[in-house]
Structure 1
Amino acid sequence: MVNKWEKQLSLDGSCELDIWPYLQNLTGDVISRTAFGSSYEEGRRIFQLQKEQALLAVQVTRSVYVPGWRFFPTKTNRRMRQISSEVNALLKGIIEKREKAMQAGETANDDLLGLLMESNYREMQENDERKNVGMSIKDVIEECKLFYLAGQETTSVLLLWTMVLLSKHSNRQACAREEVLRLFGNKKPDGDGLNHLKINCILKIL
């Protein structure tokens, strides 16, 4: 993402940039990997569809309310139903693949969906797979959707406001930059190094 920003710099080293779409895509990619791991590309498609669905839902809430209007075959209503069907089909396909792998004795992936399904599978086995125990495929699908809706927007908003606050408080920005350069130099940050960052700029500003 930062490399893309650098390519847009003018000769004097500056440019005006709308970073909001970049941050939305970044957090969407992170959530796709966290939720689906190896099925990341399918997860990314789900994220794009969920994003479109949210925009359409906002349009609907801004229009004049007419009882029963959501059942009319308008262009928006048809598209919202198409998105819902496609998201459900994609998630169901991923879940069914995981179920077959788990039944074949393979270990669950270390991602949100894998942990959720492993826990659910264990609970059902312990209760002799009774009908009212554990989550159905529909429940798992809804949990995955919720993870996107709750995680993507809040994370991108947090990143955006972090950048806004750091730009307003240049002394804290300089402090944070100095610490990063001291710990990493020209190397890419890694997990172990990030744990050694002591300056929490946001808390200090707030």
Structure 2
Amino acid sequence: MNDKQKMHSQALYNPDDPEISKIQLTCLERLYDFNQTRPSEQKLRQQLLHEMFAEIGEGCYLEPPFHANFGGRHVHFGDRIYANFNLTLVDDTHIYVGSRTMFGPNVTIATAGHPILPELRAQGYQYNAPVRIGENCWIGASATILPGVTIGNNAVIGAGSIVTKDLPDNVVAYGDPCKIARQVNQHDREYYFKDLKISSDLLAKYMD
């Protein structure tokens, strides 16, 4: 197995492999083009995203600047995903994000890690583990999601959280390390923020 194949196997590999570096440079050139677009150039942004990403669905919006080690080459987005400023995807291996998920500003998703053993790390060795995020999640500002983590559908991750372990569907979680605070519950069907109530018209439109 060569280093390019090891990138997606969780094996240790050398990221300075010339073939990998050549591919990465091409990806970063396209990422640079995306980040230089003007706000009025929405069609160009969409075109570039479809060229950059492994998969990207309909209606996705990424607010530049967007940062990614491979410019989205290993990123799989569903439909109608929104990312605020400075989304950082360390996409050395695959990142999967379900439809209608939202990212606050300065969120980081990392798939790459380095061995703790100093002798190996000094030689530049790296390993990667994929990250999976479900549908309809809300990832708060400056949250960090670490390699190998899976987050379930409808999860809400509080701002500034460091997500080190898997999280199930329908939970509110936050902290460093990120822990489940509670389930999405009846209170959330009545209030959208503190003591501010959801209107009955809105509830009737979207709730069973």
Higher CA-based Rg: 1
When normalised by structure 1's length, the TM-score is 0.23
More strand by share: 2
Q: Which has the higher contact order (CA 8 A, sep 6+)?
A: 1
More helix by share: 1
